[in-house]
Amino acid sequence: MSTEAFEIAQAILLSLGGGGVIIFALSSFLGKMWAQRILQCEKSEHDKELSEFKSQLDTLVQKRSLNYQHKIELYKVTTAPLVEFTSLITTSGLTKDHLIEFDRQRLHIVAQLSLFAPQNVFDAFNDTVDYLYDALEQDNYSFSEFRIKVLKFFLK
């Protein structure tokens, strides 16, 4: 009987062992497939989010670039009358017509700066113009002082 019991036990272990190996192999395969599918879903989700972030970043970069270009154009427009006016002060002198034209241009510049420029730029421009008018009224124009004020305006 002991050999018979041993053979039965051996048969049971072999059948369960073979089935166990098959079940282990199948569960390992299914687990691997399931993990790949989960990873693919996660990757797909992350790729979608990444493309949305890239799109938002591109939009932001374009807006900032356009804003920067507008600022450069605005500063070009606003500095031209200052350059011309300063040139007249230092070279040939100013006439009443020059002052009237500069005042007209100044009003246009103030309107543009008040709409589009930050407050510190607007204040620096006004400080520069105030200096010019005060210097002309008091006849004490100093290029070095004017340069400091203009640089503050340009570098804001």
pLDDT digits (tens, 9 = 90+) for 16-39: 666 666 666 777 788 888 889 999
Q: At 58, is the pLDDT very low, low, confident or very high (cuts 50, 70, 90)?
A: very high
- Domains in the chain, number: 1
User: Which residue has 């790949």 as its token pair?
Assistant: 36
Cβ atoms of 74 and 113 within 8 Å: the answer is yes
> Does 3 have pLDDT greater than 80?
no
Indicate the SS3 state at residue 92: coil
Average pLDDT over residues 128-149: 86
Q: Provide the residue range defining the domain that includes 56.
A: 2-154
